[in-house]
Amino acid sequence: MKSIKKEVTLISDNTWLISDYYLDNYFLVVGEKKAVLIDTGCGIGNVLDEVRELTDLPVEVLLTHGHLDHCGGMFTIDSCYMHPDD
**Tell me: the pLDDT tens digits for 5-46?**
899 999 999 999 999 988 999 999 999 999 999 999 999 999
CA distances from 40 to 1, 2, 24, 76 (A): 24, 22, 10, 9
**Tell me: the pLDDT tens digits for 52-64?**
999 999 999 999 9
Domain range annotation of the chain = 7-76
Task: Order the strands of the 35-38 sheet from edge to edge.
Answer: 7-12, 15-19, 25-30, 35-38, 59-62
**Tell me: the pLDDT tens digits for 72-84?**
999 989 999 999 9
Q: Is the whole-model pTM more than 0.95?
A: no
Q: What is the DSSP letter of 5?
A: P
